[in-house]
Copies of this chain bind each other. A is one copy, B any other.
Amino acid sequence: MAGSTLGTLLSVTTWGESHGRGIGVVIDGCPAGLALTEQDIQIYLNRRKPGQSRFTTPRKEDDVVEILSGVFEGKTTGTPISLMVRNTSQRSKDYREIASYYRPGHADYTYDCKYGFRDYTGGGRSSGRETIGRVAAGAVAAKLLSELGITITAYTRSIGPVTIEPDRFDLTQMEKNAVNMPDAKAAALAEAYLDQCRQHNDSCGGVVECVISGIPAGVGEPCFDKLSANLAKAVCSIGAVKGFEIGDGFEAAKALGSVNNDAFYQKENGAIGKKTNHSGGVLGGISDGSDLIFRAAFKPTPSIRADQQTVSKTGEEITISIQGRHDPIIVPRAVVVVECMAALTVLDMLMVSMTSRLERIKYFFGV
């Protein structure tokens, strides 16, 4: 496929450009019987909305979701759920100049190479607004997972040089700062750093961390569709992501086996637990019953006011300065996108895993 569809049993297909008529997603394979309202989805979309802090763009984007199909009398019917957000506040006039050259760090050049031309208004399909479809779908998946006792929590782990500290970790702080950091002191430092970046007409990168609790052991497929592999794809498919790691990740590459291996022990309830969680919740690509923990590295916002060298479509070397409303950092608004990609991946693989044993299928069919 051309890559706008993801998932085996729960599949999502997203569509839409930054300045087109709207952005949307079709969710196919969502089980019937889930109570679902537009408000359930709107809560998630509001979390990715700009204009919420001084580090996000001052554009007013309502991003109001409409459920077009798949819900009847308040519950999902099992048939495709179509969700749409109309584009309302986009002003195409801002983007005329951009049509004439290739912005560094953007997909302008590669889209032209691939397709011969591009929708240059607001980045078209490569805009950050493309994540609206991901978030709308992810909100549905997350709601279903919560009914199964599975919760997904992502937050800003680092912004530029500032990283949260384990001993100050406090999830309740996330909503109290503009950068979605669960650490009040780190948030203050990060905000100061972002102010500096903006004064220098610059931007910076950061890391999102995500924790998934409640996944039963045994979810994930053995070879190419490891839970970790599918999470890696889902997360690395988000526009600005340049890296993914699970558990100790790149630190595991420096570790000793005697440290990195998580010892098993017997829990009081008779279940098997792990004394540590260096693996990040997967062994052999299959969930091991521990929390699933992964991180995503985001590059700096490519749109900056500082002067940049580039080439025009007519082949001239030019110096540009990108005007307009741009966040100096992608990460805070990306937190909910990471959560949603995780939710879609986990729910899909959980559904696939239901057929792994004949005895379960027999039970299901009353044999």
Of the A-B pairs whose beta carbons lie under 8 Å apart in the complex, a sample of 15, sorted by A's number, is A2-B221, A15-B26, A15-B81, A33-B116, A33-B117, A68-B84, A77-B125, A78-B356, A84-B84, A105-B262, A110-B217, A110-B282, A200-B256, A225-B237, A351-B355
On chain B, the residues within 8 Å of A258 by CB distance are 200-203, 304, 306, 308
Q: Is A69's beta carbon under 8 Å from chain B?
A: yes
Contact A104 to B264, CB < 8 A, known contacts A3-B222, A356-B115: yes
In the complex, are the beta carbons of A9 and B78 less than 8 A apart? no
Most chain B beta-carbon contacts within 10 A, residue among A22, A82, A300, A328: A82
Q: Is A169's beta carbon under 8 Å from chain B?
A: no
In the complex, are the beta carbons of B4 and A308 less than 8 A apart? no
Task: Quickly give the copy total for this chain.
Answer: 4
Q: Is A183's beta carbon under 8 Å from chain B?
A: no
Task: Name the interface residues of A148-167: CB closer than 8 Å to any CB of B.
Answer: 148-149, 158, 160-161
Chain A: how many interface residues by the 8 Å CB criterion?
172
Task: Name the interface residues of A104-124: CB closer than 8 Å to any CB of B.
Answer: 104-107, 109-111, 113-119, 121, 124
A73 to chain B, nearest CB (A): 8
A126 to B119, CA, bound (A): 36
A197 to B221, CA, bound (A): 32
Q: Is A75's beta carbon under 8 Å from chain B?
A: yes
Beyond the given A72-B119, A147-B362, please list 14 additional residue pairs across the A-B interface where CB-CB is below 8 A.
Answer: A3-B28, A3-B224, A20-B70, A33-B358, A34-B358, A78-B222, A204-B254, A207-B253, A236-B246, A244-B245, A252-B300, A270-B315, A272-B311, A354-B355
